[in-house]
Amino acid sequence: MGRIRGCEIPEYLYYDVDNNIWLREEDNSEVTVGLTSYAVELLGEVVSCTLRTAGRAIHKNKSCATVETKDWVGPVKVPVDGEIVAVNDRLAVTPGLINRDPYGEGWLVRIRVDDWEGSKAGLVTGLKETLGSFEARMEYDGFSGC
């Protein structure tokens, strides 16, 4: 597990640093998607999460969910094309799971990706590359730390 400015960044995941999204490769060209600990720190306490429904097509840079905090409402954009095959229904009742366990119980959706091999080429993975990318993003954002 890597850390940058106090934020946990697991090295085994793939990241869309611009959108603060992580993706975990599963079986059958599927990925599980969630928000990074950095995103969670920026957002503050999540009070509501509305997920797109399973069975729907999803397109790159389009929203798989809408997250609401006390001060902000916005989309969670994914870096892949595919179909949503599962959603984390627990978030409807307990949206705070995103804050408490962003890399575990706070996952958002699972997507069957149309072209995972091509899609992951545009993502960041591995400890050195990931930490460097997030450090640059945090510096740009003026972020002091988790």
Q: For the chain, which residues make up each domain, given as ranges?
A: 2-136
What distance in Å separates the CA atoms of residue 110 and residue 90, rounded to the nearest whole number? 14
Alpha carbon distance 110, 31 (integer Å)? 6
- The architecture that CATH gives domain 2-136 is Beta Barrel (2.40)
Percentage of the chain exceeding pLDDT 90: 88
pLDDT tens column, 40-90: 999 999 999 999 999 999 999 999 999 999 999 999 999 999 999 999 999
pLDDT band at 2 (very low <50, low <70, confident <90, very high): confident
Q: Give the pLDDT of residue 127.
A: 83
Confidence of residue 141 (pLDDT cuts 50, 70, 90): very high
Q: Give the whole-number percent of the chain exceeding pLDDT 70.
A: 100
| Average predicted confidence (pLDDT) for the chain | 95
Q: Is the pLDDT of residue 16 over 90?
A: yes
Q: What is the pLDDT of residue 28?
A: 83
Q: Is 52 left (phi over 0), alpha (psi -120 to 50) or beta?
A: beta
Residue 111: the pLDDT is 98
- Kindly give the pairing relationship between strand 14-16 and strand 124-125: antiparallel
Residue 120 belongs to what H/E stretch? helix 116-120
Q: 111, 51 in Cβ contact below 8 A?
A: no
